[in-house]
Structure 1
């Protein structure tokens, strides 16, 4: 069957470029509809898409619309890569907490940044899901937007739409662990379960033999760092905090230090990370933003230029888009391949709360994506996750009810605020700074 794919948030040019390159390589016939509420970003995405399809001589038609309802009817797959407010709003999620001594290297999953982003994302994604449920009820429905667990939980709770959360983090860490073990990725098998950006590799095998003893040895080597004897770039490369956790919990956390440290703020007072400051000297947030701006400008230039794209433009690039085309193919061909996905917990992680959005393996076959049951997690690992699940429930309620006190509660549960007064002031400043995207809080 030919696919009618709708990409919502197509102004995320890097994702759009990677997705189109993957579709071209698949050789399948596709009707691709691009959607973005920013007409200028949408024009860039549409022009770039047309040039890529022309270069690849692919059987793909491309159209674009700022109104998703105009293109959703008959969709076979809907992919959302929405970021409400874009990088400028994201900056406020990180810069405002810094005024209170809270330093975030990413600020899109947990922490004040995750809370603030959830308040913007949840109403928008619920509205999208309602349209998908109405106009394309049979479509495969994927989300890449963060914070993953709150977005997926809210959409499932309010609309019942079968939204599946995708992230390349577990896939990326599997490749990282293969490299550390010195083996080809194809020889590695693993079990990983948890919450998005804190998913625990509880078993890793090479050629069917457990590699956990070797990982414990590596944890002793890489988990202890003298910051005075190592440059911060070397420290970041080694991910010492993740390896310390591996030694302690006998499981490796994804997705490495840049994300994992945000789940354990009690260990990084004033942002101190092995002698550098998180988000500044270590995992620079400003660098992330500048890189995103530069990538967009380069793609805008490529899209609007009269010159053709260079021949290597279609080469595969890594990123969040990596697996969605493969997943759709596995479903259509009933291939039964296994992927790490975010779904409501219906027993696949036996000792985590039911309905919580968990990241764990699922098989993709003709009837869709179905979670595979994994062994119960250890009590310690459950402890690292259950408080975060309570935070998810609280921030979802805050976003859906526009309840300022729930926002404060979420910041308290997160553990980054040093006092209730700071939690309240931080909540008020974030809500005010994002006023444009939070009309429900200002009626």
Structure 2
């Protein structure tokens, strides 16, 4: 490196994830003498995160510079790498992503990728992505790369590649999490003992080839292992059912997968049969919204303790399996890294469209990301991906043009929304969401007045419904106790590499 490396994070106000990215990066010796520039619109959160990272730097005597500013262009100036973790609209907008669709019978667990919430989240995020890319082109280091962690992953990455003029790689940890599950049910001591090829689109990626102890694991063997597992057999009912019918296991959690498909959440009385309430991620109605709200409240009250914990020496052997630090290490040192990345298809997966953003295996070195080409998905897996890709394509076009009709058509073609709602209900639901989220949707400003007028004379009935399996936000003391139990349980488990 000829000059000090600068890495910027947009949306750095999330203490847990920002801290994880930072500690992973500084675990690489060549990546310690860097500037780590944080930016967020929430100055309060940004200040707290900066204090935590500065404490880590001080205690571990790192040659790392920490800077923080609400001025995004200042943070991006001279950056070689930019990571995007921003949630546009915050929890305020997220709440409407979940609660307005409930009025029309659409029960979501997460609502941030497709489905009603994910489509609207994308409308907010994609406009912001163009602003981020403009700043990167104008003030970052020439050729700067954008590592996008923000959902909706495919739509955001699609937008910045096609319209932002910035080389973008989308990153998610779904592949690693499912890989751990597969290793566990097969009896492996480490995921390193299990080889995988996992390919598809973000949150609908499929383990199309699994090798363990010298042989290929087929559907029956994997299905038997999951059904026999005392925990996963209860928590992953949707994923196991899809494995049974498709022959392949999916990367995404039970709750997430259930809302991407038209079969598991369309009848309220049947939703409890497919979910598990031990944790939100297994299918709870609005579970991720509750989790995010509780974490925000907990962070506010437990900041002194978090700052105190930051004073403990780092154990660099505990580097996580998040892709970012390994990608940076490969690009800067030439040490090759194999991971799963979200990029434009361009022939990588033979039976998905070239313009789609896919998630598939690739290798990174000094020359960049090099994808493994020529993968053909099983027909059922490809068909499921195609349903989402068509929605994503329409959603991207709608977001960039402010085309309300196209936005409604995208919503109508969403698998779960289409299974639950009539066309008239979809049209009214979108109008209601446009009005509720108008402050974050500048491209639709000319259309909001018309949406208000249509809502004033609507004849579509809605209902007050909390969903099939909703829980209330817990008080901070209860969250603290739960997180303490989780930490103890993790410490008691055998660490898997």
Matches within 5 A, 1:17-416: 17-27=19-29, 28-136=32-140, 137-183=142-188, 184-213=190-219, 215-218=221-224, 221=227, 236-237=234-235, 239-271=236-268, 272-275=270-273, 283-285=283-285, 287-301=287-301, 303=303, 308-309=308-309, 311-312=311-312, 314=314, 322-415=322-415, 416=417
Once structures 1 and 2 are overlaid, which stretch shifts more, 327-336 or 20-29?
Answer: 20-29
- In 1, Cα distance between equivalents of 2:307 and 2:159: 44
Would you say the 8 A contact 1:48–1:303 is kept in 2? no
**Local SS of the residue matching 1:34:** strand
- In 1, Cα distance between equivalents of 2:40 and 2:163: 23
Note closer, same or farther for the CA distance 1:403–1:219 as it changes in structure 2 (3 Å cut).
farther
Structural RMSD (CA) = 2.7
Would you say the 8 A contact 1:273–1:282 is kept in 2? no
Note closer, same or farther for the CA distance 1:436–1:317 as it changes in structure 2 (3 Å cut).
farther
Note closer, same or farther for the CA distance 1:246–1:213 as it changes in structure 2 (3 Å cut).
closer
Paired residues in the alignment total 434
- Are 1:438 and 2:441 counterparts? yes
Report Cα offsets for 1:275-303 as digits up to 9, x if no partner: 37799896335553343334334444565
- In 2, Cα distance between equivalents of 1:398 and 1:60: 42
- In 2, Cα distance between equivalents of 1:135 and 1:320: 31
Match of 2:485 in 1: none
Note closer, same or farther for the CA distance 1:74–1:134 as it changes in structure 2 (3 Å cut).
same
* Unaligned stretches of 5+ residues in structure 1: 224-229
**Local SS of the residue matching 1:275:** helix
* Unaligned stretches of 5+ residues in structure 2: 447-497
- In 2, Cα distance between equivalents of 1:316 and 1:294: 29
**Local SS of the residue matching 1:407:** helix
Note closer, same or farther for the CA distance 1:318–1:198 as it changes in structure 2 (3 Å cut).
farther
Report Cα offsets for 1:174-227 as digits up to 9, x if no partner: 11110111102111111111110000110100144212255444278369xxxx
Match of 1:9 in 2: 11
**Local SS of the residue matching 2:111:** coil
Would you say the 8 A contact 2:124–2:441 is kept in 1? yes
Would you say the 8 A contact 2:254–2:283 is kept in 1? no
TM-score, scaled relative to structure 2: 0.81
Note closer, same or farther for the CA distance 1:387–1:276 as it changes in structure 2 (3 Å cut).
closer
Note closer, same or farther for the CA distance 1:369–1:307 as it changes in structure 2 (3 Å cut).
closer
Would you say the 8 A contact 1:278–1:284 is kept in 2? yes
Match of 2:487 in 1: none
